[in-house]
Amino acid sequence: MSSEKITMPKLGESVTEGTISKWLVSVGDTVSKYEPLAEVMTDKVNAEIPSSFSGSVKQLIAGEGDTLQVGEVICIIDVEGEQAMTEEVPVAKKSEPTTSEEKPAAGKARYSPAVLRLSQEAGIDLSQIKGSGLGGRITRKDVLAAINGEQAIQQPVAVAEKIEVQTEQQPPVQQTAPAVAVEVQTATGDIEIPVTGVRKAIAANMKKSKQDIPHAWTMIEVDATKLVQYRNAVKDSFKQAEGYNLTYFAFFVKAVAQTLKEFPEVNSTWAGDKIIRKKDVNISIAVATEDALFVPVIKNADEKSIKGIAREITELASKARKGTLQLHEMEGGTFTVNNTGSFGSVQSMGIINHPQAAILQVESIVKRPVIKDGMIAISDMVNLCMSLDHRVLDGLVCGRFMQRLKERLENTTKDTTPIY
């Protein structure tokens, strides 16, 4: 019998770590190959980690709530018929306090960049925190416990002096107000709602987008009268023939995809020392549930008919609300279109879906008086609001993109835009 290691897999583009949100097995359980072992949460997706072997669970290396880097061991499985491993992976037991001998050597504390950033924002000295992760690794949970006062932090006099000694380019951490620990007064009748793992991941991703991406914003008005007339004329027969709704959103997604092919600069991403212009047009669509926001992707949307896009919107939204979305269905997005109009919104400013360069908010279609040929007329109007990464895009190209999109939508008819 041999012991095989199960490691934290790479769960998406740019994902470097994952948090064990729930173990689905216990020590001693017999598992089959591909059977799920644990639920893992990242800033992009919630997923299950399958077993790579058939055998019995020998050790659970990480605890629920622990954050581990991609490639780190999360558990060990005993497998029949293989040569036993000679090295055993130590387990950081949460029930036993870490002694001074168990702490990492000075200067060798282990923690991820995300943990370091969190500690700096809160003014926490990581050298004073006892890590509960593998080999004394300091996790997000440890830092949050320290911020909330749930873990005692030794504060020798030298620490204050150390904090004040900073490079000239960076202000002392002491002078920065903690961004995480916020003390809020509560009154009788107030309800405290714990922040779930999913909500924490969403918050972290939104914060990263706003901090890393210099957002700019633009809006354009579109006369959707022809689009409304066209869709209303065919929606009933389409529903009867296909079994699902023909929504306005499918028309907008198709128009955006076609326009991105004409303006590939918008279908790009910032990569530090270069800008990567994406070949495929993969449209991310935002789907909200009661407590989370998912962003599944319509791959190669420019090559699909409006019928095909409408079907994918229906299927992906249904999976998101049922919690059955697969990882591959949320990967590879190059541009996001958000149907904020479904909530009655007429103007909004979206946060860009990192690492994309832009997001388009499709607002509610409303009847408004407009001037046509010198006369007042009632038209179906819709606002399109675009947030853009100003490192990648400038006003000129985005203005031309929006004007072309407006032209395409205002001329959406049976003759110009076939559904099949």
Q: For residue 320, give the H/E element and its range.
A: helix 306-322
> Exposed, middle or buried by CB within 10 Å (0-12, 13-18, 19+), for 101?
exposed
3-state secondary structure 365-398: CEEEEEEECCEEEEEEEEEEEEEEECCCCCHHHH
Residues designated catalytic:
390, 394
- Label residues 258-285 b or e (16+ Cβ within 10 Å = b): bbbeebebbbbbbeeeeeeebeebbbbb
CA–CA separation, 408 and 282 (whole Å): 19
Q: Is 352:321 a contact under the CB 8 Å cutoff? A: no
CA atoms within 13 A on the CB side of 350: 30
The residue type of 323 is G
Backbone conformation region of residue 179, classed left if phi is above 0, alpha if psi is from -120 to 50, else beta: alpha
CA–CA separation, 354 and 253 (whole Å): 19
Q: Is 41:21 a contact under the CB 8 Å cutoff? A: yes
DSSP reduced 3-state for 416: coil
CA–CA separation, 405 and 400 (whole Å): 9
Bridge pairing between strands 275-277 and 268-270: antiparallel
Bridge pairing between strands 73-79 and 358-362: unpaired
